[in-house]
């Protein structure tokens, strides 16, 4: 029907609108959910705050293959240190506990409580790394596989990325304290779930490797300005080494290796990894003095 004709038929327009669907409709019906807020769209997922059996929850529908695998660890953690999984369709849709507490690690880091935010993150990581009675799920990638992009960009760009890959190889050749890793822990992936539940993690990857890897992600977040503020790198390093009980040299190596990998990922997306290179420089300066 031409646009000029459809404007004369409001009943037709209403009928067309009523049949429009959203990414959430199937699971709203499947799990008997009601929408409880505005939808959220990220580069890899569609999310919707919902109510489930009278309690707040979050419907997450992953669009990317890698993101769909995050349910492996969320189910394995079973709500211990991470958001509870209320339902999982096995195809990338999860119904998760919704964190409704008032505190934000991003705001803490930006407003004079960076050390406290770092301590919270260290506690959250340690809780996820704690031993479990059941074996880890199948399908987790090893860190050597996870680092596949770094040697490619080390070869093409040389310089500091080559140094990062050299450091990474030393770590990957001699893994210690191997555990299932979150893989993307940072200030926006640990949320306040209130006084009873405390801080809970969301959005893991599917990685297995040395536990120091997870702590190395804390040094460029929540943004470059905060991460690179005078003294923040040194204070974060001290907090992490103390609370995670990781030897200082080893932690500096993981920072260099991980931030090199992160820089390679940014370059693959045609973005400039300025803050990653800045943190690598700080870590290398410290490492050369150890």
Structure tokens at 19: 């049949």
- Other Cβ atoms within 10 Å of 278 Cβ, number: 17
On whether both 126 and 229 belong to a single domain, the answer is yes
For 224, counting Cβ atoms within 10 Å of its Cβ (0-12 exposed, 13-18 middle, 19+ buried), the class is middle
Identify the pLDDT of residue 66.
85
Q: Same domain, yes or no, for 158 and 56? A: no
Catalytic residue list: 184
Q: At what angle do helices 159-173 and 149-157 cross, to 10 degrees?
A: 150
Q: How many CB atoms neighbour CB 259 within 10 A?
A: 26
85 and 117 in one domain?
Answer: no
Using the structure block, give the residue that is written with the tokens 């990653």.
276
Write down which residue in 97, 128, 159 finishes a domain. Answer: 97
**Residue 265: domain span:** 105-289
Same domain, 187 and 249: yes
The answer on 119 and 237 residing in a single domain is yes
Distance CA 2, CA 187 (A): 51
Same domain, 65 and 118: no
Mean pLDDT split into 10-residue runs, the chain, 290 residues:
40 42 93 96 93 97 87 96 97 96 98 98 98 95 98 98 98 98 97 97 96 98 98 98 98 99 97 97 94
Q: Give the model's pLDDT for residue 70.
A: 82
**Of 64, 97, 130, which marks where a domain is finished?**
97
CATH code of residue 40: 3.30.200
Number of domains in the chain: 2
pLDDT of residue 105: 99
Are both 67 and 109 inside the same structural domain?
Answer: no
Contacts of residue 289, defined as CB under 8 A and 6 or more positions apart, other chains included, come to none
pLDDT of residue 69: 86
Q: How far is CA 160 from CA 99, 258, 277, in A?
A: 39, 13, 8
- Pick from 68, 97, 126: which residue ends a domain? 97
Q: What is the CATH number of the domain that holds 243?
A: 3.90.1200.10
Question: Do 109 and 77 lie in a common domain?
Answer: no
| Number of other residues whose CB lies within 10 A of the CB of residue 222 | 20
Claim to verify: residue 136 and residue 184 sit in the same structural domain? yes
Based on the fold, state whether residues 18 and 154 are members of the same structural domain: no
Q: Are both 200 and 269 inside the same structural domain?
A: yes
Q: Are residues 159 and 228 in the same domain?
A: yes
In the 8-state DSSP scheme, what is residue 82?
Answer: B
Helices (H), 130-247: 143-146, 149-157, 159-173, 212-215, 224-227, 232-244
């Amino acid at each position: 029907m031409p646009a000029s004709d459809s404007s004369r038929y409001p009943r037709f327009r209403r009928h067309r609108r009523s049949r429009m669907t959203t990414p959430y409709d199937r699971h709203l019906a499947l799990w008997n959910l009601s929408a409880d807020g505005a939808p959220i769209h990220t580069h890899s997922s569609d999310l919707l705050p919902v109510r489930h059996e009278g309690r707040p929850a979050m419907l997450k529908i992953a669009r990317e293959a890698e993101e769909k695998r995050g349910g492996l660890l969320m189910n394995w953690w079973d709500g211990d240190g991470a958001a509870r999984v209320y339902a999982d369709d096995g195809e990338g849709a999860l119904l998760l506990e919704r964190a409704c507490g008032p505190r934000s690690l991003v705001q803490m880091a930006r407003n004079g409580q960076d050390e406290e935010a770092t301590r919270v993150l260290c506690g959250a990581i340690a809780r996820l790394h704690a031993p479990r009675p059941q074996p880890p799920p199948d399908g987790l990638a090893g860190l050597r596989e996870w680092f596949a992009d770094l040697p490619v960009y080390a070869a093409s760009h040389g310089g500091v990325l080559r140094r990062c890959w050299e450091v990474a190889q030393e770590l990957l050749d001699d893994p210690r304290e191997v555990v299932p890793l979150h893989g993307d822990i940072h200030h926006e992936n640990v949320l306040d779930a209130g006084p009873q539940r405390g801080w809970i993690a969301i959005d893991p990857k599917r990685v297995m490797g040395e536990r120091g890897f997870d702590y190395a992600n804390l040094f460029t977040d929540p943004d470059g300005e905060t991460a690179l503020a005078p003294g923040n790198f040194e204070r974060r390093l001290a907090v992490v080494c103390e609370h995670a009980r990781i030897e200082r040299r080893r932690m500096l190596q993981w920072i260099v290796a991980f931030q090199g990998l992160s820089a390679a990922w940014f370059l693959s997306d045609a973005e400039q990894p300025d803050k990653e290179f800045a943190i690598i420089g700080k870590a290398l300066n410290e490492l050369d003095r150890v």
